């Protein structure tokens, strides 16, 4: 996989409006996927489909979360159906993934791993790779991706030279100027993130996983502004918080 190509594409996805489902510009989930080895279908109330059946037989029930079907992969004559679970809503952030492995004459098998999830809420399903690959955005400054090998899911964390855009850094800077001031005598100006709208906070949570973005420096900057009443210049903020020059 080309790290730069992945990084640029993943950052493009990560900068979508956070009210939309992750990857909504390219990806669409469904309630039913027909494969040569069986029909996978989600069942339950229209607003909370939490059960996965194959040819009418229950094979998985989510732990109270909503399920979505994403894609079927042909794997040496069998099928690997990718599906996910999340708490359903723009504030969920994490999305956990699974594969339902289907083969005629065998009982469907669901495979996953505890770390087969997005920590920034964004993902992509690229074509053209050897094997089955799911790109999972960024985690702690590393690009994250998963690969299905037989009946096992392997998680990879790789370095990336990607950085957030200047426009998004400027948006976080505005959040700091507007949301880090002292609000009353009881405010002790402890290190904290800026306050803001639900969309702004969702964006901030996503960017905190991007390479070069320093959440600790942001909290310290917010604390200093609260204590002094003076916010940082944009140039200083870009260097200290966003690792931009």
**C-beta separation of 67 from 83 below 8 A:** yes
Question: What pLDDT, on the 0 to 100 scale, is given for residue 59?
Answer: 94
* Helix (H) or strand (E) run with residue 204 in it: helix 198-207
* Three-state SS at 208: coil
User: 71 pairs with which residues across the strands?
Assistant: 82
Domain ranges of the chain: 3-158, 166-240
CA distance 177 to 221: 10
> Given a cut of 60, is residue 38 above it in pLDDT?
yes
**C-beta separation of 47 from 85 below 8 A:** no
Residues 6+ apart with CB under 8 A from 229: 181, 182
* Three-state SS at 199: helix
Residues 6+ apart with CB under 8 A from 63: 85
Taking the model in full, what pTM does it have?
Answer: 0.75
Length of the chain: 245
CA 203 to chain centre: 11
Q: At what angle do helices 166-179 and 198-207 cross, to 10 degrees?
A: 130
Lowest mean pLDDT among 49-58, 72-81, 86-95, 119-128: 86-95
Residues 6+ apart with CB under 8 A from 178: 194, 196
Tell me: the pLDDT tens digits for 192-237?
889 888 888 888 888 888 899 999 999 999 999 998 888 899 999 9
Residues 6+ apart with CB under 8 A from 142: 157, 158, 159, 160, 211
Tell me: the pLDDT tens digits for 127-180?
766 679 999 999 988 999 999 999 999 999 999 888 889 999 999 999 999 989
Question: What pLDDT, on the 0 to 100 scale, is given for residue 27?
Answer: 74
CA 47 vs CA 31, 63, 87, 98: distances in Å: 11, 15, 11, 20
- Local confidence band at 60 (pLDDT 50, 70, 90 cut-offs): very high
- Local confidence band at 64 (pLDDT 50, 70, 90 cut-offs): low
CA nearest 32: which of 23, 21, 24, 40? 40
> Given a cut of 90, is residue 44 above it in pLDDT?
no
CA distance 163 to 233: 20
CA 88 vs CA 52, 70, 94, 200: distances in Å: 16, 15, 10, 19
Neighbours of 231 (CB within 10 A): 20
């Amino acid at each position: 996989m080309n790290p730069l190509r992945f990084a640029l594409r993943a950052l493009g996805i990560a900068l979508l409006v956070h009210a939309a489902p992750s990857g909504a510009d390219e990806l669409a989930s469904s309630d039913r996927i027909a494969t040569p080895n069986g029909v996978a279908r989600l069942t339950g109330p229209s607003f909370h489909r939490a059960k996965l059946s194959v040819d009418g037989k229950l094979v998985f029930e989510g732990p109270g979360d909503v399920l979505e079907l994403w894609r079927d992969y042909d794997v040496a004559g069998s099928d690997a159906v990718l599906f996910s679970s999340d708490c359903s809503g723009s504030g969920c952030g994490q999305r956990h993934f699974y594969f339902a492995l289907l083969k005629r004459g065998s009982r469907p098998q669901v495979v996953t791993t505890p770390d087969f999830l997005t920590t920034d809420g964004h993902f992509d399903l690229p074509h053209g790779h050897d094997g089955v690959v799911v790109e999972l955005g960024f985690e702690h400054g590393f690009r994250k991706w998963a690969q299905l090998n037989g009946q096992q899911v392997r998680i990879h964390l790789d370095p990336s030279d990607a950085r957030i855009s200047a426009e998004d850094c400027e948006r976080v800077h505005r959040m700091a100027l507007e949301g880090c001031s002292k609000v009353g005598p009881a405010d002790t100006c402890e290190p904290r993130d800026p306050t803001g709208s639900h969309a702004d906070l969702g964006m901030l949570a996503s960017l905190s996983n991007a390479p070069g973005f320093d959440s600790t420096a942001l909290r310290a900057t917010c604390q200093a502004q609260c204590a002094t009443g003076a916010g940082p210049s944009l140039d200083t903020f870009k260097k200290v918080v966003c690792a931009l020059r």
